[in-house]
Chains A and B, each alone.
Chain A
Amino acid sequence: MTLDAFLFQALNGLSTASGLFFIAAGLSLIFGVTRIVNIAHGSLYMLGTYIAYTLATKIGGAFGFWGGIVLTALFVGVIGAAIEMLLLRRIYRAPELFQLLATFALVLIFNDMTLWLWGPEDLLGPRAPGLAGAVEIFGRRLPSYDLFLIFVAPAVLILLHFALAKSRFGRLVRAATQDREMVGALGVNQAVLFTSVFALGSLLAGLGGALQVAREPANLAMDLAVIGDAFVVVVVGGMGSITGAYLAAIIIAEVKALCIAIGVVDLGFIKFNASKFTLVAEFIVMAIVLIVRPYGLLGKPQGNVRSVAEPEAPIRPAAPLLKAFAAVVLALLLALPVVAQSSPYVMVLATDILIAVIFATSLHFIMGPGGMHSFGHAAYFGLGAYGAALLLKSAGFPMLAALLAAPAVALLGALLFGWFAVGLSGVYLAMLTLAFAQIVWAAVFQWETFTGGSNGVIGVWPTAPFNKAWVYYLLALALAVISVLLLRRFLFAPFGYAMRAGRDSALRAEAIGIDVKRIHWLGFAIAGGICGIAGGLFAFAKGSISPEAIAVGRSIDGLVMVLLGGIQTLVGPMVGASVFAMLQDTIMRQTEYWRGLLGCVILFLVLAFPQGIAGAFSMLWSRFDGKRGGRA
């Protein structure tokens, strides 16, 4: 590799950084003021690209392109304001996780809306009028539009910087980022401030998306791809810091560009192609930054933002009624193969539900009693699934041995990642766990020779007698019952109590001799190990495992399941997982737009049952119980 090629890639990295900067700056601004992590920000970016494409092709010419970009940014800003006023305003007081869930529902809805409006094909916009050519730099041709992008980002950064430093609006934004309660107490109209900040952040995302129109085709996968990158940038730069976002965008884009520039590395004993590790590299940077500087490069420690959620009631051993109910359910599940003999699909669906139950229950173990909101539980699912599949395929393990090794692989991964993660809390813990999950995903995706890359590992079929759907279902049922009962047992044991004590008040737990980090670390590892069982079961149930099945979507599914069921009850995750898996399976079969429908269902549930399904029922029950008791 020559120095020229190296520098050329560095320039390329700079132009990529500008897109990243726009979306990350908006995300960061919004988080700083409203404390909402807007997952739908990637969707706004994607909308920006699509709208700009339409304006540029329908109107055409220089005005259609350049004017279209400006119009797009404004329009996306208006969409953002509408989101804030219609949805977010209702849930500012809800627990942090519900806000995330609501914005994730928007991701689903926007994605399907885009599919409906623009269709599934990738749409490449026209060349930029006036900047269609290329410039010769370092012996290569760099599109002049890319050169333009390199300068746009710092220009917007400077503009934003002055706006924030000099204007009254900017002062309010900075004040609210530091202490929004104080700003409210000083009589500032928070509703207007929040709406305008959300609109501004959305505008930036729309602008970033619109500027990409001449560079890459608009496609439906942009939203999640770009939000992943944007999170990394915001977390590396420091939540709420615009300059940090620019710095981080450059670092991330340059690291990626350098990976490509380096190409094949020959260390003598091992040879690998660095250009295949761009995704891994990005998340490794993030993980290192979070470990060394937990609040990002230019971020400041955030004040503890309330936990307005109702404190949960003490856990009690299952009442006789619940035990009887559980026994009935178990009996029904055992009888299912007989009842559903004529329909093999029922067995498949039921197995899927059981896998979801194990997945969600293990996630709830650390989210609820541990108070650690993991956004990367898919990592342990993936480690279990790939562990089992690869041990079967590459190491020649028999099926059952491979399945039993799945939790061990996941446990080891969770011990490693958890050790770093438990040092953080809140949004930062969520982001670090997400980063680890992305590292696992990216490693699997890009390490083709070992994992099969995007094709995954195929031919992972169970051997007799488990090759019959109903026998495999019974195996899944046995493992699900064991997993759920084990986790329950742990929660009622001193360990589970210590985990809750650490969550309720770390200070007080430490004052009575509890090593909170150690307890939470072990809890994290246990949850990861149990989750590995779900992964192993999944691989054998489908006969294959691919990166798609362990991507960020699965982590989010897990969160949705836990929150659907209600985080404060132990039965909740089981109910949530069952409902979610059934909804997903049934809706998916009905319509092409299942994501949008699912999104609407989630939004409805978030707005109607802020305590989850099981939580709402137990609240109803206690009300009913209270009335009955009162009359007696």
Chain B
Amino acid sequence: MSVLTVNSLGKSFGGVRAVENVSFEIGKGEFLALIGPNGAGKSTTFNMINGQLAADTGEILIGGKSIAGMAPRDIWRLGVGRTFQVAATFGSMTVVENVQMALISHASRLLNLWRPAASLYRERALELLAQVGMQDAADRPSRELAYGDVKRIELAIALANDPQLLLMDEPTAGMAPRERNDLIKLVKQLVIERGISVLFTEHSMDVVFSYADRIIVLARGRLIADGDAAAIRDNAKVREVYFGTGKTFQGASS
């Protein structure tokens, strides 16, 4: 059974059809890139899957369960980790406390008024930090970190609930090329080790074509291609939306 199934999804804002009839699936352990030019509907699709936006039509199944009407926090409880396009942490906490927060939430102990939180799940949090290479910064205030490190912390937080599915909105945005490669390599390695499925949007084509198992392409709200790197590279429609056909102006003048 697929981890995520999206069935004829649609969303309009006013008169604009941002997403129209989009369907795809992610299998277990698959590293799936969602790409498309600006305004293609990537973020809208993404935000419907993570529960930030409600879909107008269609359905989204996570582990076979429909998420219609669920808040982001309920979707997280289904085993969906998530990172944001603009990374940020809880600025008033240390690095390790940020991860502990997610672990405490995962264990449903948020309403505990008594046990000092700093001692809860610290070991597990340090393990997660070690996996993203941030164990040395564990006790630093998270607001002092460089942006690339914040992205790693976010990843550690997203892994805290042992997710089946990881949603990453432009995981490498705002990073230097070197950092970019390192981060994606790390994610890919985690995917393989833990059998997590990942859906990510990305603007950097090197990252997409070197690491994604499969790529789906959106343009003007519609899914126009779905396949592996080679297939997408040779797809005429994809070339058209990215590079143009050179026919745009002929069509208009004739």
Binding site for B on A (CB under 8 A): 311-315, 317, 489-490, 492-498, 500-501, 503-505, 507-515, 519, 522
Q: Which one of B10-18, B84-92, B182-190, B193-201 contacts A?
A: B84-92
Do A515 and B92 touch across chains, with their CB atoms under 8 A apart? Answer: no
Distance in angstroms between the alpha carbons of A510 and B120 in the assembled complex: 20
What mask results when residues 201 to 230 of chain B are scored 1 for a CB within 8 Å of chain A, else 0? Answer: 000000000000000000000000000000
Q: Is the CB of B105 within 8 A of A493?
A: no
B72 touches A497 (CB 8 A): no
**Can you list 28 A-B pairs, Cβ within 8 angstroms, ordered by A?**
A313-B141, A314-B92, A314-B93, A314-B141, A489-B114, A493-B113, A495-B111, A495-B113, A496-B117, A497-B93, A497-B117, A500-B93, A503-B92, A504-B89, A504-B93, A505-B90, A505-B91, A508-B90, A511-B73, A511-B82, A512-B105, A512-B106, A512-B161, A513-B76, A514-B73, A514-B110, A515-B110, A522-B111
- Once bound together, how far apart are the Cα atoms of A515 and B73, in whole Å? 7
B97 lies within 8 A of A511 (CB)? no
Q: Is the CB of B72 within 8 A of A510?
A: yes
- Tell me whether A513 and B84 are in contact in the complex, defined as CB-CB below 8 angstroms, given that A493-B114, A501-B90 are known contacts: no
Q: Which residues of B contact A314 (CB under 8 A)?
A: 92-94, 97, 141
B binding-site residues for A, Cβ under 8 Å: 50, 71-73, 76-77, 82, 84, 88-94, 97, 100-102, 104-106, 109-118, 120, 141, 143, 157, 160-161
The answer to whether B88 touches A508, judged by C-beta atoms less than 8 angstroms apart, is: yes
Residue of B nearest to A512 (CB): B102
Q: Are A493 and B160 in contact (CB under 8 A)?
A: no
**CB atoms of A511 and B72 under 8 A apart:** yes
Seed contacts A500-B90, A510-B73; 17 additional CB < 8 Å A-B pairs? A314-B97, A317-B116, A489-B113, A493-B113, A493-B115, A493-B116, A496-B117, A497-B93, A497-B100, A497-B101, A501-B93, A504-B91, A504-B92, A504-B93, A510-B72, A513-B161, A514-B73
- In the A-B complex, the 10 residue pairs with the smallest Cβ-Cβ separation, listed nearest first, are A311-B91, A504-B90, A513-B105, A512-B102, A494-B112, A497-B117, A513-B76, A498-B110, A494-B117, A513-B73
B116: chain A residues at CB < 8 Å are 317, 492-493
Decide yes or no: A497 and B91 within 8 Å by CB, A508-B84, A512-B160 being known contacts. no
Contact status B101-A512, CB under 8 Å:
yes
Residues of B within 8 A of A514 (CB): 73, 101, 105, 110
**Contact indicator B90/A494 (Cβ below 8 Å):** no
Q: Which A residues touch B90, using CB under 8 A?
A: 500-501, 504-505, 508-509
**In the complex, what distance in Å separates the CA atom of A498 from the CA atom of B117?**
10
Give the distance in Å from the alpha carbon of A312 to the alpha carbon of B93 in the complex.
9
The interface residues of chain A lying within 8 Å CB-to-CB of B77 are 513
State A497–B161 Cα separation when bound (angstroms): 18
Distance between A497 CB and nearest chain B CB, rounded to angstroms: 5
The complex places the Cα of A490 from the Cα of B90 at a distance, in Å, of 18
Chain B residue numbers with a CB within 8 Å of A504 are: 89-93
Q: Identify the closest chain B residue to A312 (Cβ).
A: B92
Determine whether the beta carbon of A492 is less than 8 Å from that of B157: no
In the complex, are the beta carbons of A494 and B94 less than 8 A apart?
no
> In the docked arrangement, what's the CA distance between A317 and B94, Å?
13
Chain B min CB distance to A530 (Å): 12
Q: How far is the CA of A511 from the CA of B73 in the complex (A)?
A: 5
B88 — which chain A residues lie within 8 A by C-beta?
Answer: 505, 508
Q: A314-B141, A493-B115, A500-B90 are in contact. Are A511 and B161 (CB under 8 A)?
A: no
Assess whether A501 is in contact with B143, with CB atoms less than 8 Å apart: no
Asked whether, in the complex, the Cβ of B115 is within 8 Å of the Cβ of A500, the reply is no
Q: Beyond A489-B113, A492-B118, A514-B110, is A497–B104 a contact (Cβ under 8 Å)?
A: yes
Task: Name the CB-closest residue of A to B76.
Answer: A513
Interface centre among B94, B113, B114 (most CB of A within 10 A): B113
Q: Which residues of B contact A492 (CB under 8 A)?
A: 116-118
CA distance A512 to B117 in the complex (A): 16
A-chain residues with CB within 8 Å of residue B143 when the two chains form the complex = 311
User: Inside 8 A of A498's CB, which chain B residues have their CB?
Assistant: 101, 104-105, 110
CB B153 to nearest CB in A, in angstroms, measures 11
- What B residues does A510 contact at CB under 8 A? 71-73
Cα–Cα distance between A82 and B97 once the two chains are bound (Å):
48
The CA-CA distance from A477 to B115 in the complex, in Å, is 25
- Docked Cα-Cα span, A496 to B100, in Å, equals 13
Nearest CB on A from B140, distance (A): 9
Given contacts A314-B92, A317-B116, A508-B88, A495 and B110 within 8 Å (CB-CB): yes
Give Cα distance in the complex from A585 to B94, angstroms. 41
- Which of A492, A497, A498, A503 has the most chain B CB atoms closer than 10 A to its own CB? A497
In the assembled complex, the Cα of A493 lies from the Cα of B101 at a distance in Å of 11
Contact of A494 among B71, B92, B109 (CB under 8 A): B109
**B34 → chain A, closest Cβ, in Å?**
18
Closest to B96 in A: A314
Q: Are A490 and B113 in contact (CB under 8 A)?
A: yes
- A412: min CB distance to chain B, Å: 19
B93 to A, closest residue via Cβ: A314
Chain B proximity of A618: nearest CB distance (Å): 14
In the docked arrangement, what's the CA distance between A498 and B105, Å? 9
Known contacts A501-B90, A508-B88, A511-B82; A494 and B72 CB within 8 A of each other: no
The reply to whether A311 and B92 contact each other, CB–CB distance below 8 Å, is yes
Q: Give the shortest distance, in Å, between B8 (CB) and chain A (any CB).
A: 26
Tell me, in angstroms, the Cα distance from A178 to B150 when the chains sit together. 32
Contact check, A500 vs B73: say whether CB atoms are below 8 A apart: no
Q: From residue B51, how far is it (CB to closest CB) to chain A in Å?
A: 9
Say whether A317 contacts B118, CB under 8 Å: yes
Contact A500 B113 (CB under 8 A): no
**B96 → A minimal CB distance (Å):** 10
Assess the A494–B102 pair: CB atoms within 8 A.
Answer: no
Chain A residues with Cβ below 8 Å from B113 are 489-490, 493, 495
Q: Which residue of B lies closest to A522 (CB)?
A: B111
**Chain B residue nearest in CB terms to A492:** B116
Q: A489-B114, A498-B110 are in contact. Are A511 and B104 (CB under 8 A)?
A: no
Which residues of chain B are within 8 angstroms of A500 by Cβ–Cβ distance?
90, 92-93
- Distance in Å from the Cβ of B71 to the closest Cβ of chain A? 7
Could you tell me if A493 and B112 are in contact, using CB atoms closer than 8 angstroms? Answer: yes
Give, as a whole number of angstroms, the nearest-CB distance from B72 to chain A: 5
Most buried by B among A494, A501, A515: A494
Expressed in whole angstroms, the Cα–Cα distance for A492 and B115 within the complex equals 8
Is the pair A512, B91 in contact by a Cβ cutoff of 8 Å? no
Q: How far is the CA of A498 from the CA of B108 in the complex (A)?
A: 11
Cα separation A199 to B159 with both chains bound (whole Å) = 55
Q: Give A112 to B193 CA distance when docked, in angstroms.
A: 72
Chain B: minimal CB distance from A286 (Å)? 29
Contacts of A501 in B (CB 8 A): 90, 93, 101
Report the minimal beta-carbon distance from A602 to chain B, rounded to whole angstroms. 27
In the assembled complex, the CB of A355 is this many whole angstroms from the nearest CB of chain B, namely 24
Q: Is the CB of A494 within 8 A of B104?
A: yes
Partner of B92 from A315, A507, A512, A519 at Cβ < 8 Å: A315
Q: For residue B94, which residue of chain A has the nearest CB?
A: A314
CA distance A313 to B92 in the complex (A): 5
**Inside 8 A of B141's CB, which chain A residues have their CB?**
313-314
Nearest residue (CB) in B for A368 is B92
Identify the interface centre among A493, A504, A508, A512: most chain B CB within 10 Å of its CB: A512
